Structure 1
Amino acid sequence: MQSIFEILMLLLNVVWFFIIAHVIMSWLINFQVLNTQQPLVAQIWYGLNRLLEPIYGPVRRILPQMGGIDLAPLAVLLIVAILRIVLVNNYALFI
C-alpha cells in the first residue's frame, strides 16, 4: 500500500511540474521571448496544451469569466496542493 501512496505523490508532483512549465511558457510566449513559429517551441507548447486541457476544461467551466485572465492553472495548482496535503495527512492508511 505504501507504493500506492508514492505513486500518487509522484503523479501529483508531475502534474505540478507540467502546470508550472505551462504557465511559465505561456508568459514567455505572451512577452514574445519564445516564438511558436519555432518547431521545438511549438511542439512543446502543443504537447503541454494537449496534456493539460482535459484538466483545465472542467475547471474553466466552473470558474467565472475574468476578462481574459485564465485562473484555471491556479485553481488546479490549489487542488493538487490540497490533494498532496490530504495524502500526507492520511499516510497511515497506506501502511
Structure 2
Amino acid sequence: MNALEILSEVIQVLVQAIGIYSFVLIVRILLTWFPNVDWSNPILSSISSITDPYLNIFRGLIPPIGGIDLSAILAIFALQIMQGLLTNTSQLAFNAGMSYYS
C-alpha cells in the first residue's frame, strides 16, 4: 500500500465521520422542534454536547429569524461542502496512485 492509497483511505474515514456527524446534527435539529424533549437524558445530553459547539459557530453568524434557527441549515451545508471536497480529494489521490502504477 503506497502513501496515496493510505491518504485515500484516511480521507474516506473522514468522509464517513462527517456523514455520521451530519446525521447526529440532523437528529439534534429535529429534536429541537419538540418542546417536551428532556435534554437532561444522558443520550440527548451527549448529542447536545457533541453538536452545540459546532452549531454555536454558525449561530454567531446568523441570528434566528422569526424563531427559526437558520444557522443549522448553514452548518449542514458547510459539512456537505467539506464532505464533497474530501471525496473529490480522495478520488484524485486514488486516481493518481492508479496512474502511477499503470
For normalisation by structure 1, the TM-score amounts to 0.76
Distance 1:75 1:81 in 2: 10
**What count of residue pairs does the alignment treat as equivalent?**
88
Distance 1:21 1:52 in 2: 10
Structure 1, residues 76-95: CA drift from partner, whole Å, max 9, x if none? Answer: 11011111111222221355
Higher relative contact order at CA 8 Å, sep ≥6: structure 1 or structure 2?
Answer: 2
Point out the structure with max Rg over C-alpha.
2
Q: What are structure 2's unaligned runs of at least 5 residues?
A: 1-6, 98-102
For normalisation by structure 2, the TM-score amounts to 0.71
Identity %: 19
Superposed, 1:1-95 pairs within 5 Å as: 1-27=7-33, 29-30=34-35, 32=36, 35-36=37-38, 42-90=41-89, 91-93=91-93, 95=97
Q: What is the CA RMSD across the aligned residues, in angstroms?
A: 2.1
